[in-house]
Amino acid sequence: MQKTIKSFIAILLAGSPVCLSAQSSVPVYLDETKPIEQRVEDALSRMTLEEKVAMCHAQSKFSSRGIPRLGIPDNWMSDGPHGIRAEVFWDEWDQAGWTNDSCTAFPALTCLAASWNPEMSALYGKSIGEEARYRNKNVLLGPGVNIYRTPLNGRNFEYMGEDPYLSSRMVIPYIQGVQSNGVAACVKHFALNNQETNRHTVNVNIDDRTLYEIYLPAFKAAVQEGKAWAIMGAYNKYKGQWCGQNQYLLNDILRGEWGFDGVVVSDWGGINNTRQAIYNGLDMEFGSWTDGLSEGTSDAYSNYYLATPFLKLLKSGEVKEEEVDKKVRNILRLVFRTTMNTKRPWGSFGTPEHGAAGRKIAEEGIVLLKNEQNLLPIDLTKAKKILVVGENAVKVMTIGGGSSSLKAKYEISPQEGIKQRIGNQAEVLFARGYAGEKSKAQDGLQVGQDLTDNRSEDELIAEACNLAKDADYVLFIGGLNKNDGQDSEGNDRSGLGLPYNQDKVIGALAKTNKNLVVINISGNAVAMPWVNEVPAIVQAWYLGSEAGHAIASILTGDVNPSGKLPFTFPVRLEDNGAHKLGDYPGKEEETYREGIFVGYRWIDKEKIKPLFSFGHGLSYTTFTYGKVTADKKEMTPEQTLSLRVKVKNTGNRKGAETVQLYIHDDKSSLPRPVKELKGFKKVFLEPGEEQEVVFTVDKKALSFFDPAKHDWIAEPGTFEAWVGASSTDIKSKITFKLNSL
């Protein structure tokens, strides 16, 4: 009897307007056992036009409206790629002064890329996702994967370098880690946002082959393999349309070719036109600089392009309701994946575990560029006096740089880290060396550091050199500092050189003490006119809360450096294609004349010797490589080729080496780079240990994008596999053939 009544009620209800799950009184959209698309349709069917439109635009600086009537929460976004931004006021950029939003500052994404270790990327994504979850943000505005086209780009520190394959492999685990917390990763800035100068206006002209081979792969991997739930349209234009409202990028490529089912979020202030925003693929509009309260609106947000103007067009019938339904479906999918996923974890914030994660990523990303006479690691049995020189040894680096700025729970400076690590074994002295400009407060976050020093450059150098005379080691810690023009959002650098007279300081120190180590903290390549006078050079990045501990670990050898450069260090700016061919930064228009020849691709093509090459990084131990072998001499497009190479740690300390695989195409119908990165594997080896690394090569690894066919093609012919420790340190090669079917 009971069963009959139940099924009778179920039949009754099934036809009712309030579609309840037959098995329970829970409405379908609230029933997590139901397929998400069914829940989306059910929720959509319950919404009014006003409610639908309200979901498509911001209601505050970083939130958009849910549907309280249906129990659908608001959506809350938060920067950034390196940590969870401090809470801001409802309608202000300034931080709100909360006392519980001091986060873990993780290393910049250039450092993550420099680890060449997808496991670090997974750890990064999980950790930052836990912090976003704990702060109840369901969309993290990161990671950024714009390709490093010019060393002047102010935001390169937020991205993953010059190579599409490295960026593609490294972005996937980060996204998966973030989203494992029920927080959407919002990959940015889609696309072609490769500079900050004129970023709101420049229209990028680029050929299809370059777009598909260089600038899209990391976004495609993020969407198709990382399964990103959100993506952010860039500020710049492509084909004359702003990227946040761009038919080609958002409808044709993102949705049409890649099958993206997440939400498209505008950049803040990136939308400029209601109809384009409606029809060209945007779902959620944020940060628009509308003219405030025109059109009799109650607040600026209702004046957004996708707010009242959109509602009016819908009500007049000029725009069909299906246009807003498309957007709301994507937003509801985001909601069911995040805020209404009752099984998602609770997150954690500013924990020792996250600090440890940041430190591990930092230690794996620091790159030992040069180490003559094995000056490093510091010999603590001998070192009695160590001099640290340079403003970057003490300067707060987690605040500043634009939207990725953070209110960090703590930040260990390099000077602190070094003193903590060796202060009880050696005397650690400090000299300023140089004085940069005052730190730039950000979001109302005061740096709380007064680095004012009115001494002349000569006085600063004299002080440093006097102290350097009888030091056992001199550690110069300089570089850039995320102030305007020094690796910051909104403006590019004006040149490749180090600012604040640092070159002169380094030159003077090199003359004073041969045991000089230069630690460059930056998110970009810098010129090093003193490179031949300095025996040891370390590329440290913006390393976040654990900066000082990580740097000290590397300098003392507690950790053996294993980072490899994710971008080329050119000797001079004109060794870079964007500058040699001279269309950077453009004004209204900019043409990427160098095409696919970005980074080492340009260096190889022009036969230029870089200062330090893509993929370069030394170790305190040594590695030998065996000859690469292949399981076949010829392959068909349906087959794969298995390459094997042995790597041995021939030194006396454990270490990690990233074995890199580049593919060279002997002959092709279109010009191709001399080589292209198509595989890498980081191996951790005990002293004397040997491991065999295996790469699988398929036709995709041999392909190039043929714009005429609008597809990737692998042309039959002879190829070479080059295995190396960097793009210029090739250890062995092997030839093989791709046969036609």
Q: Which amino acid is at 84?
A: I
Residue corresponding to tokens 């420099």:
114
Size of the site for ligand GLC (CB under 6 A): 6
- Does position 267 bind ligand GLC by CB under 6 A? yes
Could you report how far apart the first and last alpha carbons of the chain are, in Å? Answer: 66
- To ligand GLC, the closest distance from the beta carbon of 329 in angstroms equals 24
Residue 188 or 493 having the CB closest to ligand GLC: 188
In angstroms, give the least distance from the CB of 68 to ligand GLC: 25
State the helix-helix crossing angle for 547-556 and 414-422, rounded to 10 degrees. Answer: 50
Q: Which is nearer to ligand GLC, 234 or 253 (CB)?
A: 234
Residue 188 in contact with ligand GLC, rule: CB under 6 A: yes
Instruction: State how far the Cα of 402 lies from the Cα of 722, in Å rounded to an integer.
Output: 40
For ligand GLC, the closer of residues 141 and 551 by Cβ is 141
Residue 310 interacts with ligand GLC (CB under 6 A): yes or no: no
Question: Measuring CA to CA, how many Å separate 282 from each of 185, 233, 248?
Answer: 17, 8, 12
Q: Is 74 a catalytic residue?
A: no
**In the stretch 88-127, what mask flags binding to ligand GLC with x, by CB under 6 A?**
----------------------------------------
Nearer to ligand GLC, 141 or 170 (CB): 141
Site map (CB under 6 A) of ligand GLC, residues 514-533, x = contact: --------------------
H helix runs in 612-725, sequence order: 699-702
79 binds ligand GLC (CB under 6 A): yes
Which CB atom, from 286 or from 592, has the smaller least distance to ligand GLC? 286
The C-alpha angle with vertex 560 and arms to 538 and 357, in degrees rounded to 5, equals 90
Residues forming beta bridges with residue 57, ordered by sequence position: 285
Q: What minimum distance in Å lies between the beta carbon of 236 and ligand GLC?
A: 11
CB–CB of 248/214 below 8 Å?
Answer: no
**Does 236 interact with ligand GLC (rule: CB under 6 A)?**
no
- Structural element, H or E, at residue 719: strand 717-724
Nearer to ligand GLC, 79 or 283 (CB): 79
Question: 353-385 as b/e, with b when 16 or more CB fall inside 10 Å?
Answer: ebbebbbbbbbbbbbbbbbeeebbbbeeeebee
To ligand GLC, the closest distance from the beta carbon of 727 in angstroms equals: 29
Would you say 188 or 395 has its CB closer to ligand GLC? 188
The least distance separating ligand GLC from the CB of residue 81, rounded to whole angstroms, comes to 8
d(CA 161, CA 157): 9
CB 371 within 8 A of CB 536: yes
One residue of 268, 541, 567, 736 binding ligand GLC per CB under 6 A: 268
Instruction: Provide the H-helix boundaries in 526-645.
Output: 547-556, 577-580, 600-606
DSSP state at residue 376: P
443 binds ligand GLC (CB under 6 A): no
The residues, ordered by sequence, that sit 6+ positions from 208 with a Cβ below 8 Å of its Cβ are 705, 707, 710
**CA angle, corner 615, sides to 609 and 619, nearest 5?**
105
Q: How far is the CB of 285 from ligand GLC (least distance, A)?
A: 13
Binding to ligand GLC (CB under 6 A) within 392-411 occurs at 403
Q: How far is the CB of 604 from ligand GLC (least distance, A)?
A: 32
Given 267, 283, 443, 492, which residue is catalytic? 267
Footprint on residues 539-568 left by ligand GLC (CB under 6 A): none
User: Which residue's CB is nearer to ligand GLC, number 287 or number 529?
Assistant: 287
Longest dimension (CA), the chain: 97
The distance of closest approach from Cβ of residue 141 to ligand GLC in the complex, given in angstroms and rounded to an integer, is 4
For ligand GLC, the binding residues in 134-153 under the rule CB under 6 A are 141
DSSP output for 123-186: HHHHHHHHHHHHTT-SEE---B------TT-TTGGGS--S-HHHHHHHHHHHHHHHHTTT-EEE
Q: State the residues that interact with ligand GLC by CB under 6 A.
A: 79, 141, 188, 267-268, 403
The catalytic residue positions are 267
